[in-house]
Amino acid sequence: MSISAAYITPGEGREPNHHTPEISRRARGIEVWAALRSLGREGLAELIDRTCGHAQRFAAELRAAGHTVLNDVVINQVLVSFGPPERTVAIVRRLQEDGVCWCGSTEWQGQTAMRISVSSWATTDRDVDLSLQAIAGAAGQYRAALISTSPCRSGAAKR
């Protein structure tokens, strides 16, 4: 009883979802029914349009900042690479430590990426602003750390 995906990173301890049939339960349609019941067809369509719009904004602004968006953003998922796998993973780690937003790392078509999933009904334009700032900050911190440890910076290469 287990599932796996590149974006599901197992912990070091016992993973409860590997020991229960809950992940495979057949009543998964209840969430859709509840959303339709509370929001109605038009409300649910607006929610989907809004989350997709947020994802497209993430992609556009990250692309404009010089990062590589790996996927066509047609729904609410954005996969962005910051270059070599170790750089992308380090930026994801810094972002998670910051706590402003949570994005995981994944692998897609052989490339390591940050996975941005805009799936909350509560996500606002302000949340996207803050998240983009946090991502830029994490990327900037990585760049600054590289520069400060560069041999040319430390004087070792100035002989």
For residue 158, being part of any structural domain is answered with no
Q: What is the pLDDT of residues 18-70, one digit of tens each?
A: 666 666 555 667 888 898 999 999 999 999 999 999 999 999 999 999 999 99
159 pLDDT more than 80: no
- Share the mean pLDDT of the chain: 87
For residue 10, being part of any structural domain is answered with no
For residue 146, being part of any structural domain is answered with yes
Structure tokens at 79: 């996969």
Residue 90: which residues within 8 A CB-CB, separation 6 or more? Answer: 142
CATH code where residue 125 lies: 3.90.1150.10
Cβ–Cβ < 8 Å for 124, 47: no
The pair phi, psi for residue 107, each rounded to 5°, is -125, 130
Question: Which whole number is the average pLDDT over 120-134?
Answer: 97
Residue 147: which residues within 8 A CB-CB, separation 6 or more? Answer: 153
The pTM (predicted TM-score) of the whole model is 0.77
Q: How many domains does the chain have?
A: 1
Domain span at residue 101 reads 52-150
For residue 107, being part of any structural domain is answered with yes
For residue 73, being part of any structural domain is answered with yes
Q: Report how far apart, in Å, the C-alpha atoms of 153 and of each of 67, 109, 146, 148, 149 are.
A: 25, 36, 10, 6, 7
Confidence at residue 82, expressed as pLDDT on a 0 to 100 scale: 97
For residue 61, being part of any structural domain is answered with yes
Confidence at residue 158, expressed as pLDDT on a 0 to 100 scale: 46
For residue 84, being part of any structural domain is answered with yes
**Residue 44: how many CB atoms within 10 A of its CB?**
16
Q: How confident is the model at residue 9 (pLDDT cuts 50, 70, 90)?
A: confident
Q: Which of 138, 57, 133, 73 is nearest to 105 (CA)?
A: 138
Q: What is the pLDDT of residues 86-107, one digit of tens each?
A: 999 999 999 999 999 999 999 9
For residue 34, being part of any structural domain is answered with no
